[in-house]
């Protein structure tokens, strides 16, 4: 008898799962999909992204346009396949009309392709920052209120050449679209200023052993530009230090992020003084940033200062909420009104004003920083300079910028 009952239970469960998604959600809730990496090498980054998104939701008390916000989470492992699979689940099974995410470069390119097949759903980027997500062949319903990886580098190349006096720099970066974009952004300025980049090393995501990479770096370089994320950055920096490397570092946006700066060990001595650039700066003392910092810190497991992933997800989630507010939470028209509102949206973020260009990519302020030790011993990105309102073509006229060609491992080059 017992087994019969169990079989029935299993059957009931199975039918419950197969039944077309039941319309349980009442009219007074707004469902938003949140896609981030909760598996794989970028897990820490994904979790901080989630904190950022939830900060934005809690800021409005979990309600927008009089309706309760319901967040449905999806997880990827930073591979494009898994991002698309998670996006499909959120859109086709959970029925979200707005999806915020994903986190990393190639994921963004894949989700943009998927967005084209779902014209009634609005996709708002998380922190993925590959240039071509919005620059070439964009999707009408994909918005990016966070800037791309090349924009994040604004001001760094010139600063490294003029102020730091580095003439020859080797680069070490992960081998996919986001680091290509970062290296492109750095070199665009650095090469123009007269700098040389004799060697570029591309390493796979999740690499553990950097000894051959370290051996391949020329001895006579003035500095090493490192664009690695999360565990990869920690591994490389530790091994570089252990191998006796002494060249100063220049950081990519996520290399000297809080996800790396909070790691324990001797890294701190190497990192202090490293210049970098990105969409955030820890010692930004503007009132809007301080306010954001306080609200972010209420999230469980928060870092001493929000990483750029928390910031990016916050800004994009905030944009989604502002868009919903403007249309009264109404997406019954396939989201056309919402997308119209989003494309005209311009608002103040903790890091200054953000607005969109015609490709729905953000124009925003970028921060030039240097790693310093804070009063309580934590490492912080000290604000050096604000480069205001950087657009996707880095201030270069669009047709001229397009002639530079698509970002890849060999473009640009100035050996």
Partner 1 sequence: MSLTLATDATAPRQTWLEKLGPGHVILAVALVLYPLVASDFFLTQIGGYSLIFGMLALSLMMLAGYGGMVSLAQITVAGIAAYAIAILGNNNSNVLGFGWPWWLAAPFAVLAAAVASALIGWISVRTEGIYTIMITLAIATATYYFAQQNYAIFNGHSGYAGIHAPSFWGVNWRDPKAFYYLCLGFAVLSYAAILYGAHSTFGLTLQAIRDNPRRMRALGYDVTAHKVFAWFLAGIIAGLAGVLLVWFNGRVSPGTIGVDVAIDVLIIAVIGGLRHPIGPFLGALVVVLMQTFAIDIVGAERFNTLIGLVFLVIVFVSPDGILGLWGRIKPHLAQESLRSGP
Site residues (vs partner 1, CB under 8 A): 1, 3-4, 17-21, 36, 38-39, 47, 50, 72-75, 77, 79-82, 84-85, 88-89, 92-93, 106, 109-110, 113, 175-177, 204-205, 409
Minimum distance from CB of 94 to partner 1 (Å)? 8
| Cβ nearer to partner 1, comparing 93 with 288 | 93
Minimum distance from CB of 49 to partner 1 (Å)? 11
- Give the strand pairing for 142-143 and 122-124: parallel
Q: Which of 6, 8, 76 is nearest to 38 (CA)?
A: 76
Distance (Å) of CA 164 to CA 65, 95, 171, 268: 50, 52, 16, 20
| Cβ nearer to partner 1, comparing 72 with 396 | 72
**C-alpha to C-alpha distance for 33 and 89, rounded to whole angstroms:** 10
| Cβ nearer to partner 1, comparing 190 with 236 | 236
| Cβ nearer to partner 1, comparing 83 with 223 | 83
Helix axis angle, 308-326 relative to 287-297, nearest 10°? 100
| Cβ nearer to partner 1, comparing 298 with 409 | 409
**C-alpha to C-alpha distance for 168 and 163, rounded to whole angstroms:** 14
Cβ atoms of residues 207 and 232 within 8 Å: yes
| Cβ nearer to partner 1, comparing 13 with 272 | 13
**In the block, residue with structure tokens 């490709």:** 359
**C-alpha to C-alpha distance for 147 and 152, rounded to whole angstroms:** 7
Minimum distance from CB of 200 to partner 1 (Å)? 13
Q: Give 282's DSSP letter.
A: T
| Cβ nearer to partner 1, comparing 165 with 208 | 208
| Cβ nearer to partner 1, comparing 203 with 364 | 203
Q: Which of 96, 103, 137, 142 is nearest to 119 (CA)?
A: 142
Which bin fits 244, alpha (ψ -120 to 50), beta or left (φ > 0)?
left
Q: Which of 126, 174, 179, 133 is nearest to 152 (CA)?
A: 179
| Cβ nearer to partner 1, comparing 22 with 215 | 22
SS3 state of residue 165: coil
Burial class (CB in 10 A: 0-12, 13-18, 19+), 375: exposed
Cβ atoms of residues 134 and 144 within 8 Å: yes
Minimum distance from CB of 105 to partner 1 (Å)? 9
Q: Give 89's DSSP letter.
A: I
| Cβ nearer to partner 1, comparing 130 with 256 | 130
How many Cα atoms within 13 Å fall on the side-chain side of residue 176?
Answer: 20
Minimum distance from CB of 104 to partner 1 (Å)? 10
Minimum distance from CB of 72 to partner 1 (Å)? 8
Minimum distance from CB of 100 to partner 1 (Å)? 14
Q: Which of 380, 191, 383, 410 is nearest to 284 (CA)?
A: 383
Q: What are phi and psi of 329, to 5 degrees?
A: 75, 15
Minimum distance from CB of 38 to partner 1 (Å)? 5
Q: Which of 258, 202, 194 is nearest to 226 (CA)?
A: 202
Minimum distance from CB of 53 to partner 1 (Å)? 11
Minimum distance from CB of 392 to partner 1 (Å)? 20
**C-alpha to C-alpha distance for 393 and 373, rounded to whole angstroms:** 34
């Amino acid at each position: 008898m017992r087994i019969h009952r169990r079989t029935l239970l299993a059957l009931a469960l199975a039918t419950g799962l197969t039944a077309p998604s039941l319309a349980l959600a009442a009219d007074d809730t707004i469902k938003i999909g949140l896609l981030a990496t909760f598996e794989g090498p970028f897990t820490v980054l994904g979790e901080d992204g989630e904190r950022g998104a939830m900060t934005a939701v809690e800021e409005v008390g979990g309600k927008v346009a009089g309706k309760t916000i319901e967040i449905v989470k999806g997880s990827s492992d930073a591979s494009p396949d898994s991002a698309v699979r998670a996006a499909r689940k959120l859109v086709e099974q959970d029925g979200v009309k707005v999806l915020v995410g994903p986190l990393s470069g190639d994921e963004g390119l894949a989700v943009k392709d998927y967005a084209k097949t779902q014209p009634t759903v609005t996709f708002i980027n998380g922190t993925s920052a590959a240039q071509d997500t919005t620059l070439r062949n964009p999707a009408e319903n994909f918005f990016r209120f966070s800037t791309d990886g090349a924009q994040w580098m604004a001001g760094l190349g010139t600063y490294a050449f003029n102020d730091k006096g580095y003439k020859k720099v080797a680069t070490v970066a992960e081998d996919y679209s986001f680091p290509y974009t970062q290296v492109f952004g750095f070199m665009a300025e650095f090469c123009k200023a007269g700098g040389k980049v004799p060697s570029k090393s591309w390493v796979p995501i999740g690499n553990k052993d950097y000894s051959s990479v370290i051996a391949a770096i020329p001895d006579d370089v003035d500095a090493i530009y490192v664009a690695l994320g999360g565990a990869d950055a920690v591994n490389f920096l530790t091994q570089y230090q252990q191998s006796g490397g002494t060249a100063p570092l220049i950081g990519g946006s996520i290399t000297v992020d809080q996800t790396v700066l909070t790691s324990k060990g001797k890294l701190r001595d190497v990192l202090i003084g490293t210049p970098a650039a990105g969409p955030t700066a820890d010692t930004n003392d503007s009132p809007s940033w301080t306010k954001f910092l306080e609200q972010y810190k209420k999230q469980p497991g928060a870092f001493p200062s929000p990483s750029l992933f928390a910031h990016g997800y916050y800004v994009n989630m905030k944009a989604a909420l502002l868009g919903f507010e403007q249309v009264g939470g109404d997406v019954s028209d396939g989201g056309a009104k919402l997308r119209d509102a989003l494309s005209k949206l311009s608002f103040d973020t903790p890091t200054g004003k953000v607005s969109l260009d015609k490709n729905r990519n953000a124009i925003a302020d970028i921060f030039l920083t240097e790693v310093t030790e804070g009063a309580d011993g934590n490492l912080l990105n000290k604000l050096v300079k604000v480069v205001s309102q950087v657009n996707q073509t880095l201030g270069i006229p669009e047709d001229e910028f397009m002639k530079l060609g698509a970002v890849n491992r060999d473009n640009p080059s100035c050996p």
